[in-house]
Homo-oligomer: A and B are copies of this chain.
Amino acid sequence: MFKKKNSLVIDAADHSARGGLLNRRLFLSSAIATSAALATTRAAYGQEMVGEGQEDWVLYPGSDALEYSNRSRFEVASVKRLLPNDPQEFLDLRLTKFVARTPLDHLMGTITPNGLHFERSHQGIPDIDPNKHSLVIHGMVKNPLKFDISALENYPTVSRNYYIECSGNSSILWQKTPTDQSLQEIHGLLSGSEWTGVLLSTLLDECGISSDAKWIIAEGADNGMMTRSIPIDKALDDTMIAIRQNGERIRPSQGYPMRLLNPGFEGNTSVKWLRSIYVSDRPVMSVQETAKYTDMMPDNKALQFTLEQDVKSIITRPSNAMSLKKHGLYEITGLAWSGKGKIARVEVSADGGNTWADAALEGPIHTKMLTRFRVPWLWEGGSAILQSRAIDEFGRIQPTRKELIDARGRNGIYHFHAVHSWGVAKSGKIKHVYA
């Protein structure tokens, strides 16, 4: 009388790499059986009947609807962290209040709620009245133009999913010894959103740019007057003026009422509180592209305008934010992204990179957006080293830490994107390791 579509028989054919990594088809077929992991949840149902021992929330009417709904008062841990992570960069402690990291260990999917999007400002969040703010496009253009928010909203819009990552994300991993910092502290300068706005190419076309134009220079209306130069080819490609994030107007911490968004470029180029785009035949050489945000090579030469980001991935669960409490089946999941395009494949290792299993990717896969990957893992109590390795549609492979340092040295502080390792002890405790 009873059927059980799939029984828990994990045999040799289900293993796709050593260390307990199982075939991703076990996910894709929805045929995964997880009895082993859930033995402890099998409280005998008969001992606790529905209808007995009702909590107050069933017995009395609940609260009214609100104009803007809040999170549960029990979700206190899922907040941004305001601590610095790289003492090299944040010698000026006043700056630490201008950095906040996304709680990646508390999130799933690919969209970051607007309140939890990471932030980094250079002089705090301005409180801009949108009726007193506008964007000017000037310089090497035929018709300099000025746009307030309502003028922008009359233009054709696009809505696209893009990640933003600070170029200083994960920078603590350049140091010689592994860190005790949490997943959020190490990698939390990374978020994903559905952005709506106007393609910059639409506005530049309206202005009529000079055929000699080679760069645009974007400037923010914050007290830091963040200023970055962007190549004209990018500006005419997918760069947009974003006015909405996940449907609603972008929040002050994200550049309200309008920001530049350069998909796949290092985060600081997506200038927030955007007020000026100057079209030029040369970059402006601002402090943000000379003293900062350059990559110091082993020979002490600094590479400038290394704007397009690499291919990268991280395992978000399990991580050092949790310990494994029992043997059995787990889901290893994380995020992969490429500054150049789409993620094509993600591989996961449980033995420090000796053998690799293909992970299942949640589709549809967007270009220059976070892609969620998952692979089933049977942990039988041994020590393990968990790693993920992303490959993008152009065949770019995320390097090992050794490969990255061999190529770029250890003088830089930006663009760390090598394979990241979580060490699992026999006790189930997880910590960051180099492997």
Contact = CB atoms under 8 A, between A and B. Distances in A.
Contacts of A40: 151
Contact of A147 (B41, B55, B111, B244): B41
Contacts of A113: 113-114, 246-248
Contacts of A130: 72, 74
Interface string A102-124: 00001111111111110101011
A221 interface: yes
Chain copies in the assembled complex? 2
Interface string A144-178: 11111001001111111000000000000000000
Contact of A194 (B55, B109, B248): B109
A244 B109 contact: yes
Contacts of A41: 145-148, 151
A143 interface: yes
B156 A219 contact: no
Chain A, interface size category, equals: 35 or more
Given A64-B98, A157-B333, A362-B158, A55 B205 contact: no
Interface of A: 1-6, 26-27, 30-35, 37-38, 40-46, 48, 50, 55, 57-75, 78-82, 97-100, 106-117, 119, 121, 123-133, 136, 138, 141-148, 151, 154-160, 194-196, 199, 201-202, 205-206, 208-212, 219, 221-223, 225, 244, 246-249, 251-254, 256-257, 273, 275-276, 328-331, 333, 362, 364, 366, 372, 374, 376
